[in-house]
Amino acid sequence: MRRTERVVLAFGMVALLAAPATGAEFAEVWPGVVERSERAYVLGDASGMRSARTAVRELLGSGLTDDQRSIARYTVAYLNWRLFFLTDSSADDEREALLDEALELLGADVADNDANAESHALTASVYGLQISQSRLRAAFLGTLAGRASARAAELEPNNPRVLLLDGIGKLNTPRAFGGGEDRAEALLLRAVAAFRTEPPGRPWPRWGRIDAYPRLGQVAVRRGEADAARRYYLQALDIEPEFAWVRHVLLPALEQ
């Protein structure tokens, strides 16, 4: 992004914070908010993601249409989900707050529209992260996660984010409880195929195109297949050469 574009986008974000947005203003500013948040994720820029999240939070109290409010709720939850992975693992309270807010917003969203597969799928993944924080609640949260994931798959079985998030969940679930590398791999490969047919410029949400390959690489690592993992990581970099998680974390880890 050129410097002039960054300045224009910054002024747009300030305008959002200065006064409640109408539905028309939301439609005008929203593409820049999405671009900013996605670019921050690629670069591993937690501060940039928090800034974008603040702008979206401000929108929630303004005069939005029902669809715009749903998108804003989902996006704050999505950014919290992303930020969980960028927050130090020792910051338990902060990580818990991220997940709690995400579930509150997603719960409100599916209460208004139970047919929102995107929100159900993200809800399942957030429950999965809560399990990683509190194994004592694994049985209860696992039931909730399974229910949300099943609802998402029922609504949109070929949605690439539904497949991606289910695959991530299976990767982090023991085989005895329905997870494991084989199930994760099958879902992630289906996600890759689904992303190939999803138009890059479709309305938001459209994230996830770069996410399946690193997860497939993690499947390969667990199997001891370093060469296969490297190929998957490089495929992610083919899509986004500056993908910080792959370039600075996952690839170097293969050399250790």
**pLDDT for the residue 23:** 78
Distance CA 42, CA 244 (A): 6
**245 secondary structure, DSSP code:** I
Q: What is the dihedral of CA 229, 235, 240, 244, to 10 degrees?
A: 10
Kindly report the backbone phi and psi dihedral angles of residue 22, in degrees, each rounded to the nearest multiple of 5, phi listed first.
Answer: -90, 170
**pLDDT for the residue 5:** 44
Distance CA 77, CA 100 (A): 9
- What are the structure tokens assigned to 194, written together? 């689904």
Query: Which distant-in-sequence residues (6+ apart) come within 8 Å of 60 by Cβ?
Result: 69, 72, 73, 76
Domain range summary for the chain, segments of one domain joined by +: 1-64, 89-156
Question: pLDDT per position in the chain (256 positions), as tens?
Answer: 444 444 344 434 444 444 556 778 898 889 999 999 999 999 999 999 999 999 999 888 778 999 999 999 999 999 999 999 999 988 999 999 999 999 999 999 999 999 999 999 999 999 999 999 988 889 999 999 999 999 999 999 999 999 999 999 999 999 999 999 999 999 999 999 999 999 988 999 999 999 999 999 999 999 999 999 999 999 999 999 999 999 999 999 998 8
Distance CA 165, CA 210 (A): 13
Question: Which amino acid, one-letter code, is at 150?
Answer: A
**pLDDT for the residue 21:** 61
**pLDDT for the residue 61:** 77
